[in-house]
Amino acid sequence: MNDRRVPLVDLAWQHTQVDQDVRRGWDEMLADTSFILGPPVGEFESGFAEFSGVRHCIGVGSGTDALEIAIRALGVGPGDDVILPANTFIATALAVTRAGATPVLVDCSPDTYLIDVEAIEAAITERTRAIIPVHLYGQMAPAREIRDAFPDIWVVEDAAQSQGARRLGESSGSIGHLGATSFYPGKNIGAYGDAGAVLTNDDRLAEQARKLRNWGSEVKYHHPEKGFNSRLDTVQAVVLSAKLRRLAAWNELRSEAARLYGELLADLPVQLPVVADGNDHVWHLFVTRVPERERVLGELNANGVGAGIHYPTPIHLHGAYSDLGHGPGSFPNSEQLSQSALSLPIYPGITPEDQEYVADCLKKALR
Ligand SMILES: Cc1ncc(COP(=O)(O)O)c(C=O)c1O
């Protein structure tokens, strides 16, 4: 029995890097008690907008809220259809439903696992008002191709897993009419709690999103429309600014780790991640496919390797979306992926020795 542990995600190393900056920022915040929309929020919003190559970043309470606010800022709601991939985290679909619109699912590509452009084309009707390309696992979906192919339909990028990723020279969150991102703690840039942001180059949509996050109000006690309370907390903005300064370097560490996995796993019967042409991947997750996934996952976990599954159930097979009426077999690529996907530990701070241990355990499990 050995006691080696390699978790799926380890945030401890990151914290050691930002500890001093966070404490200093929090001390300042405590001194001026600027808990709601204090100066650190605007500072982070400017910094992240610049990092993402957009004019506006609006900090909100979570990635799910960011998606909902983006959809509502476009005026998309009851009676409208929004196309999204069946292979994504549930929040993409929930944001559509919460805005009152109807999710229309399409399958993913069998190699990159990203939304399939041809499948979008087949799903479009006169009710389609928006498309959500989801930049899964750290690489961007073909958002530019989608925006150009369907010029009359709104595009909202789900950029929760892709901070710092680029496609054909364009940044994650800068291509759609709006982008939505998450700063859930395990994301490439993560807060110390829930947080998210809406990104856009459009001044009017930015103003709309800013209003929606603040009870539909620009002027205190004046509410021209129904918004909700979802602002980025000052406490989180301090953490995020400290991490933003290091994000590019941390993404590079993720890339190095991905390269090493590529070498270590080259001779195993494992489907390695495929990077689409033109993509700079930021390796939020390292998603492989393996035979006998449940057994292999069990052996890895038993040996202290925190491998995971992204995702075990496509959207249409969740109870929450049984009302869409899609049974098994509706989206075969997404379903096959859900049965064979295996995510290996990856994070800034993982050591080559950790990765060798993961590869050794995987090799034994596949024997
Ligand atoms: C693809 C995707 N979309 C949306 C979200 C929702 O973000 P949050 O957890 O911040 O609400 C997440 C992460 O949780 C995600 O991975």
Token duo for residue 19 = 């500890």
Verify whether ligand 1 is closer than 6 Å to residue 317 (CB atom): no
CB atoms within 10 A of CB 145: 15
**DSSP code of residue 319:** G
Q: What angle do CA 326, 332, 337 make, to 5 degrees?
A: 115
Q: Could you read off the pLDDT of 167-181 as tens digits, one per residue? A: 999 999 999 999 999
Give the span between the Cα atoms of 68 and 101, in whole angstroms: 10
Phi, psi of 308 (to 5 degrees): -140, -175
Q: Average the pLDDT over 313-327 and give the result.
A: 98
Does the CB atom of residue 68 touch ligand 1 within 6 A? no
pLDDT at site 350: 98
> In the CATH hierarchy, which fold is given to the domain comprising 12-241?
Aspartate Aminotransferase; domain 2 (3.40.640)
Segments in 283-351 forming alpha helices (H): 293-302, 332-340
CB count within 10 Å of CB 278 equals: 14
Band (3; pLDDT cuts 50, 70, 90): confident
Among 184, 187, 282, 285, name the best residue to mutate to test ligand 1's pocket (greatest count of ligand atoms within 8 A of Cβ): 184
Distance 132 CA to ligand 1 centre (A): 13
Mutate which of 64, 236, 282, 285 for ligand 1? The one with the most ligand atoms within 8 Å of its CB, which is 64
**What's the rounded mean pLDDT across residues 23-48?**
97
Q: For residue 2, what pLDDT is reported?
A: 74
- Locate CATH 3.90.1150.10 in the chain: 247-366
pLDDT at 1 over 90: no
221-242: per-residue pLDDT in tens?
999 999 999 999 999 999 999 9
Residues of the chain with CATH 3.40.640.10: 12-241
The mean pLDDT of the chain is 97
Q: What is the pLDDT of residue 203?
A: 98
Fold classification of 247-366 (topology level) = Aspartate Aminotransferase, domain 1 (3.90.1150)
Position in ligand 1 atom list of the atom nearest CA 67 = 4
160 Cβ below 6 A of ligand 1: yes
CA distances from 313 to 73, 271, 310, 328 (A): 30, 19, 8, 11
Query: How many angstroms does the Cα of residue 68 sit away from the middle of ligand 1?
Result: 11
Residue 184 Cβ inside 6 Å of ligand 1? The answer reads yes
The predicted model gives 86-109 an average pLDDT of: 98
Confidence (pTM): 0.98
- Residue % of the chain over a pLDDT of 90: 98
Mean pLDDT across 54-74: 98
Can you say how many angstroms the Cα of residue 130 is from the centroid of all Cα atoms in its chain? Answer: 18
Mean pLDDT on 65-83: 98
Cα→Cα distances 234→24, 59, 303, Å:
13, 10, 40
